[in-house]
Chains A and B, each alone.
Chain A
Amino acid sequence: MIRNVISYAFSTPAAAMLMIFAVSDLHAAPAAEANTIVLKDFHFSPMSLTVPAGATVIWKNLDGEPHTVVSDAGLFRSGGLDQDDSFTFKFDKPGTYRFICSIHPSMMGTIVVK
């Protein structure tokens, strides 16, 4: 009986699509959280983050003061991030990427891509 239900579900393309979305969502949700750096009290937190190649990192500013996220190698540069604004960048190649807030450059962080 159970086997029948599953085979029935897969027999309709729409249902199969739903299953796929459900599965990918399950993977995406925790990964997005893990790749988030918050800007709070004039610090990047965490200051260092290791991600697999192809990962997208999200920076979110929680401070009342604007910040930026600027790669020291010129790879990426956010605009001014007001409170609750976010910036994302996808890291394709393995390596170590350093970044600062260009307005408050004592704020430093590192992304290690493996």
Chain B
Amino acid sequence: MSTEFPFAQTRRGALRCLAFGGAGTLFVLSGGVLAPVDLALGATKSTPMAKAGTPLFVQISDTHIGFKADANPDVAGTVKQTIDLVNAMPNKPAFIMHTGDITHLSKPEEFDRAQQLLSDLKVTELHTVPGEHDVIDGPGAEYFKRFGKASDNKGYYSFDHDGVHFVALVNVMNFKANGLGALGNDQLTWLENDLKSRSSSTPIVVFAHMPLWTIYENWGWGTGDADQAMSYLKRFGSVTVLNGHIHQIVQKVEGNITFHTARSMAYPQPAAGNGPGPGPLKVPSEQLPKLLGVTSVAIAPMPGALTLTDTTLA
């Protein structure tokens, strides 16, 4: 199932958003300003999002290969279903971005299995950022052996595609004492330099595993030094920040920056503060596919616009 609703700055847009709240996500970033999207497009489930434009990329997240507890005894199965979903898209995305927690426990055999499963994606380019579950063995270990080349083993890097500048950040290596993620000074300096030469009209998409805004501090759902990163990003007319980690969709707009977290491909987690901690959430098996899915990002018909669509397995 693919669902969308408009996400807009205007009052009119906000009201439309309320009307379709809970249906899913679609937002458009045009010329640096968030613009409301055509409602018929956003609200009609029979209109595949792919028709709204060329899919630029698909965000997948939190595959947790190696997880085998009650919340999903067949993680490989749901990951396969999600890959089938991506492969069935009528227009192939240019690349896939995995926003971390590829594995559950950073074990070599889990990475092997994950890479074997992900190789079934009919998309040639796969980008990744590590989640905290991928770097349990510390810096320079298994994740970096496999995915470190793009970043000279730093984990963070940037690239350009279709006039969009993509920045992949790591916020799971040095946690703040309160449990929030952190980027660290080296990475912040790198980010400042990476963005310095870009014109403010360049659309920016930022990836990191943990949310780059504080969703729930008690559970460490945020990044302690994200404000510093945002201070470098706020001059840009269109910034989209995509995260995983919390296994559910939460979103926010602040100025020209749109924040969005993706569903997991493995198991859901409770809403912020609901229960003793952010562990796996066991739901009836028939509900599970409705809580797992991917986010697809497309260039919308209007010039320079991006749209985001969340798609579940059922």
Contact = CB atoms under 8 A, between A and B. Distances in A.
Say whether A associates with B.
Answer: yes
Interface of A: 41-42, 63-66, 68, 77, 79-80, 82-83, 102-108
Nearest to A41: B276
B71 A64 contact: yes
B220 A106 contact: yes
Contacts of A41: 276-277
A66 B104 contact: yes
Contacts of A63: 277, 279
A103 B277 CA distance: 13
Given A68-B136, A79-B137, A102 B276 contact: no
B179 A80 contact: no
Nearest to B177: A105
A42 B136 contact: no
A42 B177 contact: no
B175 A105 contact: yes
20 contacts: A42-B277, A42-B279, A64-B71, A65-B279, A65-B280, A66-B133, A66-B136, A68-B136, A77-B138, A79-B136, A80-B104, A80-B105, A80-B133, A80-B136, A83-B69, A103-B132, A103-B136, A105-B176, A106-B178, A106-B218
Interface string B113-149: 0000000000000000000110011100000000000
Contacts, number: 59
A104 B179 contact: yes
A23 B157 CA distance: 61
B280 A103 contact: no
A99 to B, nearest CB: 13
Main secondary structure of the interface of B (DSSP, over half): loop
B241 to A, nearest CB: 22
Interface of B: 69-71, 104-107, 132-133, 136-138, 175-179, 218-220, 276-280
A106 B218 CA distance: 8
A28 B214 CA distance: 47
Interchain residue pairs A-B with the least CB separation, the first 9: A106-B179, A42-B277, A41-B276, A80-B105, A105-B175, A65-B279, A80-B136, A103-B132, A64-B280
B277 A65 contact: yes
B136 A102 contact: yes
A79 to B, nearest CB: 7
Contacts of A104: 179, 220, 277
A42 to B, nearest CB: 3
Contacts of B136: 66, 68, 79-80, 102-103
A3 to B, nearest CB: 59
A102 B105 CA distance: 12
A71 to B, nearest CB: 13
B220 A79 contact: no
